[in-house]
Structure 1
Amino acid sequence: MTGQTTVKGRVIDASELPIPLANITLRGSSNIGTVADFDGFFTLTIQETPPFSLVVSSIGYETTTTNAITASVEDLIITLNQGTELDIVIISASRAPERIFESPVSVEYFGQKEIKNTPSVDFYSGLENIKGVDVNTNSLTYKSVNTRGYGSFANTRFVQLVDGMDNSSPSLNFSLGNLVGISELDVSNIELLPGASSALYGANAFNGILFINSKNPFEFQGISAYSRGGVTTQEAAGTNAFYDVGVRAAHAFSDKFAAKVNVSYIKGTDWFAVNNDNLNDPSLNRQSDPNYDGVNVYGDEISTTVNGVSVSRTGYEEQDLVDYDAESLKFSGSLHYRPMADDLEIIYTGRLGRGTTLFQNANRFYSPNFFSQQHKLEVKNNNFFIRGYITAGDAGDTYDTRIAATNINNSWKSNDDWFTEYFTTLAVSGGNHDLARATADTGRLVPGTPEFETAFNRVVSDPDFTTGAKFQDESELRHVDANYNFSHITGNFADIQVGGSFREYRLRSFGTVFTDFDGPISYGEVGIYTQIQKLLLDERLKITGSIRYDKSELFEGNFSPRFSIGYNAGEDRNHNIRTSIQSGFRNPTTQNLFMGLDVVRAITMGSAADNLDRESRDYALSTNGTALTGNANATITGRNALENSYTLDSAAEFINAADPSLLIKSDVQLVKPEKVTVLELGYRGKYNGFSLEASGYYNMYQDFITSENVVVPFYGEATSNEDFTSPSVQALFNNDFNIYNIATNTSAEVNSYGMVLGVDGKVFGTYDFGVNYTYSKEDFDEDDTAYQSEFNTPEHKVKATFGNRNLFSNFGFNTSIRWSDSYVWNDAFGTSEIPSFTVADAQINYTISSLKSVIKAGATNIGGEEYYNALGTGFIGSQYYIGITINNL
């Protein structure tokens, strides 16, 4: 018969000081529990007949289990001993509870202590202090997380789950950071697995996976709020105010029903992107290079060559094309029902987000009024879960800044007319480029004038990319996954799990991004997996084996196995040595498969077999081309681009040397899934309050997904070793060609390797100190010039933190410093070396225990030296802030 037992007590440390926010749960049921208040006190009522035990944990302390409780208790005292970060219990590495210390793979943790103590403005920015992690800043409101290289802002190799839901864009397939994610008030903890995780989490968990877990309203009740504000400073933008506010309300109406809601809003001014360096030659500016192509200048990509002289149109700076407003409004709510008041729980979750931001892929995109929503239904208990969710997006008023500039230019003078005027004036003036440009620019729309604003508004509201620049996107993603853990049945024999998932994409861009002119494009993926985990040798040795099979309807299936061995050595079992081998894979993205987008520099094209004929464009031929073919226009399909084109490098050599024998026919293959095999060796050790971690890995890739630029003549048959009589060679001479960027796999041998070292602990008694070093290196066949790396991470990174959570009564502080080596940034936007940089952040905080509140003030990039971590983004200045968080338990 079920009874009701109430346990009241206090959680303290060895010095008899209270441990606030300690977790108290019923042993064997992680869903039944509570959290201690700021003074360490707690009350827990359990609908279960004694005897039972409680599990008590807090970050930085060793987890303990109480003696058997046989009746209600009024004054239970629970003492926790000082521990390390390695004693934290996580779920992600094995889909089952285990200490970080014994995890079979590398794992990082970011919890309430880290959120409170981060010197960054918000918790998501604070992730950049985790060892091995890259956080690339694209916007004030949009940041991209990655590990182990091979990531850009369009990072499709890294997965982010919020309460089990993939928060990637259905159409773009990459995470939107925390742009429409979770309120800081509702974050329970964050777990991060660097490296391949496909064996348990499927396709695209390739470079790593980030788990953000929210607070359960049964355990975290009440109303909490935060408000912070301050200024951003940047040389280009000046000093601008920003503010960030949020409210969380949660209540358990009974032991069966609970609910919560979250609302948060941030508004500020984005980092201005004003890099006018010439992509062709940074030593030359517009005045000295007629073919100037500025990094953050758009429309000047339109270029032509006449008699060996290359000239580009006059472009518009990015700041003429965007407002640099940045805002994000997020709402989430969930209903939780425990029909039998035990660990079985039924959950509905809804998340809505709207805002304005800048993001970057092949071009820079300004996104006013974008909208995203997710809805999930989940049933779970301690042994299983099954969840289904849908993600839907709406691009709002998003537009492509490069295409906008190009079509604003075209709205007052066509490319043909502009270049005709330029070269005619150039010939008449005896080579005066300044006069030629001034003549061709006669009538140019000037930013700030009514004429420019009229043309601009017309272009950014027009979804036809031949005349406008607006994105339309209402794509959706549907996902179902399930897992069952048989450990309650198998007992001490082994922990055995099985699970699976199904995902369907529904692409709907109305022909603006994908080739879905005639209706939505849909396709699906399915996967199943199993894992067995066994403890041996007095539970010192842990052996884990798992395997997953995934199948996309567009490709053959893939197996992803993982095998690991971990051993706890030493008399006190304070040394853990682990080794693993695992494989991962990722399916080509929706863009790799079905994109058909003119990004000005090239036509970006997906290479799914069905897309070759869906991608089709009409081109007007030159006068010479019309005379040669008898037609004024040519229709080019994706199949032409794949089967009848030259390599870009050979076409460039041909143009420079006027030697058609240099031309090489391209041999681009249809894109297919990419695979990786990962070898990893790691060590974790605990030394009198210090923890030491070291790990190394080696990644071996197969069929690495990349893209290749080819030159497609509008007529003739492309072959290698051409001569001047070939119609396709004449097409190149007549500028009757276009460049296509086609998704494919490289034949180059691609590998990468690296290591991570980290030390954390106490110094000078009560001061927290941590330092870590990351080494990352790519190893590939450099003779393959068609391979686009996108490794995009420094070879060396060092990060350090120093602080004290209780320097004196209720007062704490924390500081961090990050140093990044220089590195080469390479993606679809462009290639450039990123200079090394050092960034220092700091914060102070004061706790008002009676109000359960914390006042916090801080600054990021204290030195004020602006830096950037990707080509094309705004330089990052400093932020100064002060805020208060109220009743955030």
Structure 2
Amino acid sequence: MSIFFRTSLAAVLLAPAAALAQSGSIAGTVTDAAKSAGVQAAQVVVVGAARGALTDARGRYTIDSVAPGTYEVRVRRAGQTLKTSAGIVVSAGAETHLDFTLERAPVELAGVVVSASRRVEKVTEAPATVTRIGAQQIENTTGNSYSGALKGVEGVDLLQVGVTTTTINTRGFNSAFNNRVLQMEDGRIAVLPEYGMPAAGFTTIPKVDLAAVEVLVGPGSALYGPDASNGVLTLETKDAKQFPGTTIELGAGTRTYRDAQGRHAGVFGDGRFGYKLTGEYQSADDFSNHHAYAPVGQIVAQERNAHWNTSVARAAGAFDWYHGSSRLEASAGASRNNGVGQTNVGRNQLVNWTYRHAQLKYTSPHWFGQLYTTKSSAGDTYVLNTYAQNYLRYPGISDDSLKHVSAFPGDGQLIAAELQNNLTLPVTGTRFTYGGQFRHDIVSSHRHWLADRLTGEDIQFDQRGVYAQLEQQLSPFFRLVGAGRFDKHDYYPAQWSPKAGLLFTPTPDQTVRFTFNRAFKSPNVLQTRFYFPDFSPLSSKVGIGVIGNHNGLVIKDSLGNTVRSYDPIVPETNSTWELGYRGVMNGSFYVDVAAYRAFFRSFITPLVNVANPLAGTFAYSEGRKFGSETGRDQFTLTYLNLGKARIDGVDLGLRYAATPTTSFSGSTSWQHLKDIQAQSTLPAAAIAEATAFNSPTFKWNAGADFTDVGGSPIALGFNARHVTGYDFRSGVHFGHIPTFTTFDMSLGTKLPMEGTRLNVNLQNFFTCRGGRDFANGFIATGRRSLYAPNATCGFGKSHSEMINMPPIGGFLTVSLRWER
């Protein structure tokens, strides 16, 4: 590992010198013709130079490192006309001043995205279903959550489980502990290593520092590697040079919601150095409910003292060195979270859970390199369901002791490096992108519930991946895309993730694509390295234990004869064929539609019992009897692979600009699970849960946006979301999520003070629901919750989006944003 890191570090640090060239710059201001005010988040591009910038809050921009020559410069922004200026001369060591004035236009013909090909390209030409949410859309939301903007993204299942907490999935097979969508932040993998889960709300990035959010729907492993089975969520922060200045946002709302966040960024040293600092504190009294858990003896375990005040504090900073067309950035950040989080066996009381990152990143037109580390620590978090049951098991001990024995302590650290290059072959014009990644994980349960309990050493493993993609223009209308990635993990066989696509573009901003992608979801640390004999002691001689399936298991009888064996767990795979169209019609109507067929194989089961000591069967791993050190024989629970299934689906996204100040949008998705095959001797309940679809078969979203209402600076927005009811089964969460339709509205206006804006958001102000779900006495594995059909609509109605989590009601937030 040290040789790899020394080589990567040398490449990262020496690349700027190789890229240095004498150059000039272009700078100016982009203004709105109707308001004579600066236009923020406009894209200014130097054609043929692979250089560009986004305007800041005052409409200013600077494009550095432009080679001397004569260029055409274009500027575009959603809702305004494309402007082009030709014959722009750039001289070495000089700045060329160039201003633009934009007129209002019905619709943005083609924005740009990054995640589909790991390079900038027009969204209409991307070889995948991908949506980009820009800085302006994000800024119009309240608080730290950008999730409101995700409600209308085609193909995305968004579940709101709290005031500030949402989860997302794409194209089926969701779960309460879902890691099928990979989260990326500024190029780094953002996961909790000890659980293999996306960082989600643990992110170190406040909303005021978000430049864009991209959602890639469908398999993404060909370029991103493990856990991009169903998609990739990418968060991109603002560059200090492109977004200088100070931003402060203060928010308040119902349920004692409070939020304060800020960002300050600038450059110095003649533009060669940049810096930024960000921070946020947010809290709210979350929606709440009460649980009862499986009995201890004859007494049902009632949930005790759950604290529903959710809070997060986060801070980050970055320092940049700009050298020619290159940028070297060092950044670090941390967050601390408190609240209630759902798990497959119940829920956790999060107490001072921390997440940190540190990153050194180099970018240039052709090279990308990074070294980074992330670290997660559970703090004083404990398991609410275990706490409730231990209160009955151990009467008389102190509350602090109960929380201690109910904790699942854990720490996880990820250390990673990546180097990537892109080039264009001179004769054929083939675009070629290739790279390699290395990742080292260190995980500890404090010798409590993972294999470090047995070995006395932290769990460590490596992952290595290499990837490449080529794009070839076959004719003026046809383009071929091919990619592949090879991943090798210490715990499972090597994985090959291919990607191929043929794109037909008969006219600009009109593309039909036919693609194939294969991706995989890797087994997480729990599924491979769980080791907890006597998870639930039953008597002095027998207990229930859990063991991960890293090396396979052999089941023997009391005489030592092999009864059966189970192979080590392997990744689940997703192979998807997709036919899609994306384009702009008549300059005002945007369409994105995709039909797909996905084949899933080797589902990972929930915990299943494979050995029963009362029936004379015992589990052995690597020749050692599981749990022998406790003196009790173990009912042995573990994870296995089984089965395959097919999903057929269609995703559709629309946007129509009726006038320069009025637009309508909509999306819908239909998906159907079929051809489930799961030949196994496992219990029917385990097979049913492993292959549970856990997603709606139909949903839609519709929205309308109005700007400059009545000639004023007021903007209004309305959104409606409908989700058809569906069954959900994941761990102890088993039942029916009722059909619901919710309505949101927003109002925003610029205030007389320069750079100040007021935003008001009202979520779920009117709701229709198909019924209510509630626990059947208590929560336990295999115990289905009750569902009472009761269709009703009204103001102030609540609805459920996740089994056993609190119903979600209306929520009002108001924020004041100041930029300078």
Residue in 2 aligned with 1:325?
Answer: 309
Residue in 2 aligned with 1:279?
Answer: none
Q: Note the C-alpha offset of 1:84.
A: 3.8
Please give the alpha-carbon distance, in whole angstroms, between the structure 1 residues aligned to 2:280 and 2:57: 24
Q: 1:119 to 1:376 in 2, by over 3 A?
A: closer
Given the alignment, which residue of 26, 30, 35 partners 2:55? Answer: 35
> Does residue 1:257 correspond to 2:156, yes or no?
no
Residue in 1 aligned with 2:491?
Answer: 554
Residue in 2 aligned with 1:70?
Answer: 89
Residue in 2 aligned with 1:409?
Answer: 392
Q: 1:739 to 1:227 in 2, by over 3 A?
A: farther
Q: How does 1:315-354 map to 2 (within 5 A)?
A: 315-317=301-303, 320-338=304-322, 340=323, 342-354=324-336
Give the letter for the 2:393 counterpart. N
Equivalent pairs: percent with the same residue? 20
Instruction: State whether residues 684 and 693 of structure 1, in contact with CA within 8 Å, keep that contact through their aligned partners in structure 2.
Output: yes
Residue in 1 aligned with 2:282?
Answer: 266
> Does residue 1:819 correspond to 2:715, yes or no?
no
Q: Note the C-alpha offset of 1:829.
A: 2.6
Please give the alpha-carbon distance, in whole angstroms, between the structure 1 residues aligned to 2:434 and 2:170: 27
- 1:749 counterpart SS class: strand
Given the alignment, which residue of 793, 798, 802 partners 1:866? Answer: 798
Query: Which ranges of 4 or more aligned residues in structure 1 deviate by more than 6 Å?
Result: 13-18, 43-47, 633-641
- 2:240 counterpart SS class: coil
Residue in 2 aligned with 1:682?
Answer: 580
Instruction: State whether residues 138 and 358 of structure 1, in contact with CA within 8 Å, keep that contact through their aligned partners in structure 2.
Output: no
Q: 1:885 to 1:548 in 2, by over 3 A?
A: same
Given the alignment, which residue of 747, 751, 756 partners 1:848? Answer: 751
Give the letter for the 2:245 counterpart. G
Instruction: State whether residues 63 and 87 of structure 1, in contact with CA within 8 Å, keep that contact through their aligned partners in structure 2.
Output: no
Q: How does 1:211-610 map to 2 (within 5 A)?
A: 211-231=234-254, 240-254=255-269, 255-274=271-290, 296-298=291-293, 300-302=294-296, 312-317=298-303, 320-338=304-322, 340=323, 342-362=324-344, 363-412=346-395, 455-460=398-403, 462=404, 468-487=405-424, 490=426, 493-517=429-453, 518-538=456-476, 540-569=477-506, 572-597=507-532
Q: How does 1:5-24 map to 2 (within 5 A)?
A: 7-12=27-32, 19-24=39-44
Q: 1:353 to 1:782 in 2, by over 3 A?
A: same
> Does residue 1:839 correspond to 2:776, yes or no?
no
1:771-815 per-position Cα deviation (integer Å, ceiling 9, x unaligned): 111112222437763322342211110101112122232110101
1:725-773 per-position Cα deviation (integer Å, ceiling 9, x unaligned): xxxxxxxxxxx98654421111x23121211112101236631111111
Give the letter for the 2:28 counterpart. K
Q: Note the C-alpha offset of 1:273.
A: 2.4
Residue in 2 aligned with 1:177?
Answer: 200
How many residues get paired?
736
Given the alignment, which residue of 742, 767, 770 partners 2:662? Answer: 767
Instruction: State whether residues 158 and 174 of structure 1, in contact with CA within 8 Å, keep that contact through their aligned partners in structure 2.
Output: no
TM-score when normalising by structure 1 = 0.77
Q: Note the C-alpha offset of 1:90.
A: 1.0
Please give the alpha-carbon distance, in whole angstroms, between the structure 2 residues aligned to 1:793 and 1:483: 36
Given the alignment, which residue of 597, 620, 626 partners 2:540? Answer: 620
Give the letter for the 1:353 counterpart. S
Which piece of structure 1 moves more, 758-767 or 346-355?
A: 758-767
Please give the alpha-carbon distance, in whole angstroms, between the structure 1 residues aligned to 2:691 and 2:437: 31
> Does residue 1:694 correspond to 2:632, yes or no?
no
TM-score when normalising by structure 2 = 0.84
Q: 1:526 to 1:344 in 2, by over 3 A?
A: same
Instruction: State whether residues 135 and 145 of structure 1, in contact with CA within 8 Å, keep that contact through their aligned partners in structure 2.
Output: yes
- The alignment yields a C-alpha RMSD, in angstroms, of 3.1
Q: 1:708 to 1:264 in 2, by over 3 A?
A: closer
Q: 1:329 to 1:15 in 2, by over 3 A?
A: closer
Given the alignment, which residue of 26, 34, 56 partners 2:75? Answer: 56
Please give the alpha-carbon distance, in whole angstroms, between the structure 2 residues aligned to 1:252 and 1:642: 59
Please give the alpha-carbon distance, in whole angstroms, between the structure 2 residues aligned to 1:30 and 1:599: 60
Q: 1:409 to 1:810 in 2, by over 3 A?
A: same
Q: Which has the higher strand share?
A: 2
Give the letter for the 1:796 counterpart. F
Q: Note the C-alpha offset of 1:698.
A: 0.9
Instruction: State whether residues 621 and 634 of structure 1, in contact with CA within 8 Å, keep that contact through their aligned partners in structure 2.
Output: no
Residue in 2 aligned with 1:144?
Answer: 167
1:138-165 per-position Cα deviation (integer Å, ceiling 9, x unaligned): 4434322211112224211111111112
Please give the alpha-carbon distance, in whole angstroms, between the structure 1 residues aligned to 2:534 and 2:650: 37
Q: 1:3 to 1:481 in 2, by over 3 A?
A: closer
> Does residue 1:104 correspond to 2:88, yes or no?
no
Larger radius of gyration: 1
Please give the alpha-carbon distance, in whole angstroms, between the structure 2 residues aligned to 1:543 and 1:141: 42
Q: 1:737 to 1:185 in 2, by over 3 A?
A: same
Instruction: State whether residues 619 and 634 of structure 1, in contact with CA within 8 Å, keep that contact through their aligned partners in structure 2.
Output: no
Q: 1:598 to 1:456 in 2, by over 3 A?
A: farther
Q: Note the C-alpha offset of 1:830.
A: 2.5
1:422-450 per-position Cα deviation (integer Å, ceiling 9, x unaligned): xxxxxxxxxxxxxxxxxxxxxxxxxxxxx
- 1:457 counterpart SS class: helix
- 2:191 counterpart SS class: coil
Q: 1:589 to 1:29 in 2, by over 3 A?
A: farther
1:129-187 per-position Cα deviation (integer Å, ceiling 9, x unaligned): 32221222344343222111122242111111111122210111111313333111111
Q: Note the C-alpha offset of 1:395.
A: 0.6
1:825-866 per-position Cα deviation (integer Å, ceiling 9, x unaligned): 111233111111111111111113652121011211102221
Q: Note the C-alpha offset of 1:641.
A: 11
Q: Note the C-alpha offset of 1:480.
A: 1.3
Please give the alpha-carbon distance, in whole angstroms, between the structure 1 residues aligned to 2:394 and 2:197: 34
Q: 1:6 to 1:202 in 2, by over 3 A?
A: closer
- 1:371 counterpart SS class: strand
Instruction: State whether residues 220 and 231 of structure 2, in contact with CA within 8 Å, keep that contact through their aligned partners in structure 1.
Output: yes
Please give the alpha-carbon distance, in whole angstroms, between the structure 1 residues aligned to 2:544 and 2:598: 45
> Does residue 1:801 correspond to 2:703, yes or no?
yes
Q: Note the C-alpha offset of 1:48.
A: 5.1
Please, which runs of 5 or more residues in structure 2 have no aligned partner? 1-20, 558-562, 619-631, 767-795
Given the alignment, which residue of 672, 683, 697 partners 2:570? Answer: 672
1:596-635 per-position Cα deviation (integer Å, ceiling 9, x unaligned): 35897xx7xxxxxxxxxxxxx896138xxxxxxxxxx999
